[in-house]
């Protein structure tokens, strides 16, 4: 297992549309293990393959308090949604930024597991929000896209400033 680098907004790689997973093999299982390790280390509750510059329809999630309920979702499709809810969302690709986003309250997702077997997931609350958030990544969409253009630009500037302040100062000779 290995911790992967998480791509950060406004990197254009986050806008790449993911392709379906067609091969379910040991390499896929290693990728899933890397994604869980990366997500837990970050720390986060969800990670889409797009966020580590792998453009396949794959998400990992764990919304449990104990971090003991890992969920792998491959080639997901929302087949039913109901209601509306507003959650304050954050994102590993947009560190330190949080905003209210409206999403479906309940969803039914058809997908595949790491072995390619079909699965149906019924989700509500935080799990529903997390699945929808991560599925957006597979389409090249970020939660900041739900914000006004002005707020999105403020987020971009804030992240650029954070990166500049985090860079080590050059040592003069």
Which residues are tagged catalytic? 134
Pairing of strands 58-61, 46-48: antiparallel
Rounded (10°) CA dihedral 102, 83, 59, 139: -60
Please compute, for residue 46, the number of CA atoms within 13 A of its CA located in the half-sphere on the CB side: 22
Please compute, for residue 65, the number of CA atoms within 13 A of its CA located in the half-sphere on the CB side: 0
Distance CA 150, CA 169 (A): 31
**Do you know the residue count of the chain?**
173
Q: List the structure tokens of 152.
A: 């999105």
């Amino acid at each position: 297992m290995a911790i992967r680098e998480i791509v950060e907004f406004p990197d254009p790689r986050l806008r790449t549309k993911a392709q379906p997973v067609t091969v379910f093999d040991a390499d896929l299982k290693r990728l899933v293990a890397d994604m869980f390790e990366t997500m837990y280390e970050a720390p986060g509750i969800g990670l889409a393959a797009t966020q580590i510059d792998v453009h396949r329809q794959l998400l990992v999630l764990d919304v449990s308090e104990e971090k003991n309920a890992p969920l792998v979702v491959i080639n997901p499709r929302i087949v039913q949604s109901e209601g509306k809810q507003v959650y304050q969302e954050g994102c590993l690709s947009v560190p330190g930024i949080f905003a209210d986003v409206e999403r479906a309250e309940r969803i039914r997702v058809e997908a595949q597991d790491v072995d390619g077997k079909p699965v149906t997931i019924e989700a509500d609350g935080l799990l529903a929000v997390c699945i929808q958030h991560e599925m957006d990544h597979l389409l090249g969409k970020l939660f900041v896209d739900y914000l006004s253009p002005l707020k999105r630009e403020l987020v971009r500037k804030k992240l650029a400033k954070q990166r500049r302040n985090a860079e080590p100062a050059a040592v003069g000779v």
